């Protein structure tokens, strides 16, 4: 019996879920042909929140960088999209790349400041930076100063692909824009999840997991903690900036208060990750669905919704720190995105 061992991260559930994910993606792409406009809008919301949650999870769940200031990158990315379309006439879809790029540029001085603070003080430091950016942007008169502005009509009409969607699906231009935004959000969310999953399975990514589990041990095997923190912080800013640009591109209107809202872009995102399960890729997916369902169910109760969300987040942090997905995964052993490498022997399992 020549048992050759191999290292694998694959589990049966993961193979099944890989196929399911591809099918799901295909369905999601063609969905606008059947779905109502409100469903497309809901899905846009879910996908963009999911993207933000995945990046926050990458920061806090994998790298220990608990940021309460991600709204800085959402808002700055969004404002750069408006600024570059209004001032330089860039096509809004192309301007999304600028959203990410400028958020990345903002992240460099930000990291320089906040990495001087450790632990909890890092968290409030990021918040201060976000406030500084919000107050500074509010001084920028070309995009409406403190009151904000709308995306100009000609810029909206010039969006790549809208005309084609109008003809193909036989819809009005406002609906066509929603479909385009939905596709972009779908691409962004898929790329984010795929990218993070790929990253976590690379040597660097595994080092990141080692870092989270034990900083000293990771150092002793040559993981440069500081460099990893920089990389993750910049990548998260880039992705968060694009998501911010996309959210306000679909919204069509921007103001400093909405673009830099700590509740919307950070509190909700944190609750999504915590409720779903921090430190897993599955967690934010479960979390965003729970979040959306709760929001729909409690829509008529105003502030009660936020109280419930806050209490749920506290309860999970106190009694089930690994979130809903953690509870499920512990009971069933199922992992959809296995990261840990397992030793596989051919005569046992995997056959």
Partner 1 sequence: MIWIDTIVQGVLLGGLYALFAAGLSLVFGIMRLVNLAHGDLIVMAAYLILVVVSVLGLNPFVAAVIAAPIMFVFGWILQKGVLNRTLGEDILPPLLVTFGLSVVIQNALLEGFSADSQRISMGPLETASVSAGPVTVGLLPLLTFASAILVIVGLNWIFYRTSIGRAYRATSDDPVTASLMGIRPDRVFASAMGLALIVVTIAALYLGTRSNFDPYVGPARLIYAFEAVIIGGLGSLWGTLAGGVIIGVAQTVGASINPEWQILAGHVAFLVVLLIRPRGLFPRAVD
Instruction: Report strand pairing: 149-150 vs 253-254.
Output: antiparallel
Collapsing DSSP states into helix, strand and coil, what is residue 342?
strand
The single-letter DSSP state of residue 299 is G
The reply on whether position 272 binds partner 1 by CB under 8 A is no
> Which residue from 4, 38, 139, 147 is in contact with partner 1, where contact means CB under 8 A?
139
For partner 1, give the closer residue by CB, 302 or 333.
302
294 near partner 1, rule: CB under 8 A? no
Contact set for partner 1, span 88-117 (CB under 8 A): 113, 116-117
| Least gap, CB of 106 to partner 1 (angstroms) | 14
Q: How many CB atoms lie within 10 A of CB 169?
A: 13
Closest distance to partner 1 from the beta carbon of 64 (Å): 8
What single string gives the DSSP state of each residue in 124-135?
Answer: HHHHHHHHHHHH
Q: How many residues bind partner 1, per CB under 8 A?
A: 43
- In terms of Cα–Cα distance, which of 133, 164, 145 is closest to 32? 164
Residue 300 DSSP class: G
Q: Which residue has the tokens 């069509």?
A: 252
Q: Which is closer to partner 1, CB of 47 or CB of 273?
A: 273
In angstroms, the CA 89 to CA 39 distance is 31
SS3 category, 343: strand
Nearer to partner 1, 191 or 215 (CB): 215
Cβ at position 292, least distance to partner 1 in Å: 18
Out of 136, 174, 202, 214, the only residue in the binding site for partner 1 (CB under 8 A) is: 136
Query: Using the 8-state DSSP alphabet, how is residue 140 labeled?
Result: -
Residues that bind partner 1 (CB under 8 A): 60, 64, 66, 68, 113, 116-117, 119-121, 123-125, 127-129, 131-132, 135-136, 138-139, 146, 262-263, 267, 270-271, 274, 278, 302-304, 306-307, 309-311, 313-314, 317-318, 321
């Amino acid at each position: 019996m020549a048992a050759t061992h191999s290292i694998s991260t694959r589990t049966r559930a993961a193979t099944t879920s890989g196929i399911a994910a591809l099918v799901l993606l295909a369905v999601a792409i063609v969905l606008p042909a059947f779905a109502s406009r409100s469903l497309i809008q809901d899905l846009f919301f879910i996908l963009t929140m999911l993207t933000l949650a995945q990046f926050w999870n990458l920061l806090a769940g994998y790298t220990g960088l608990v940021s309460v200031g991600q709204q800085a990158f959402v808002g700055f990315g969004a404002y750069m999209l408006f600024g570059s379309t209004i001032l330089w006439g860039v096509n809004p879809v192309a301007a999304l790349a600028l959203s990410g790029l400028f958020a990345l540029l903002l992240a460099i001085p930000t990291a320089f400041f906040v990495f001087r603070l450790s632990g909890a003080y890092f968290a409030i430091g990021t918040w201060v930076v976000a406030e500084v950016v919000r107050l500074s942007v509010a001084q920028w008169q070309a995009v409406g100063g403190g009151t904000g502005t709308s995306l100009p009509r000609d810029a909206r009409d010039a969006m790549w692909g809208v005309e084609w969607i109008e003809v193909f699906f036989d819809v009005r231009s406002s609906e066509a824009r929603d479909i385009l935004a939905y596709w972009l959000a779908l691409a962004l969310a898929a790329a984010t999840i795929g990218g993070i999953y790929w990253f976590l399975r690379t040597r660097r990514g595994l080092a990141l997991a080692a870092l989270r589990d034990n900083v000293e041990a990771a150092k002793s095997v040559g993981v440069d903690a500081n460099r990893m923190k920089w990389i993750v912080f910049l990548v998260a800013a880039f992705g968060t900036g694009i998501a911010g640009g996309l959210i306000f591109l679909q919204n069509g209107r921007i103001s400093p208060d909405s673009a830099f809202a700590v509740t919307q872009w950070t509190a909700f995102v944190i609750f999504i990750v915590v409720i779903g399960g921090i430190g897993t890729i599955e967690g934010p997916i479960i979390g965003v669905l729970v979040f959306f369902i709760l929001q729909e169910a409690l829509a008529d109760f105003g502030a009660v919704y936020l109280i419930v969300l806050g209490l749920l987040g506290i309860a999970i942090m106190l009694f089930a720190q690994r979130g809903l997905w953690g509870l499920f995964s512990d009971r069933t052993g199922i992992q959809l995105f296995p990261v840990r490498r397992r030793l596989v022997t051919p005569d046992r399992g995997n056959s």
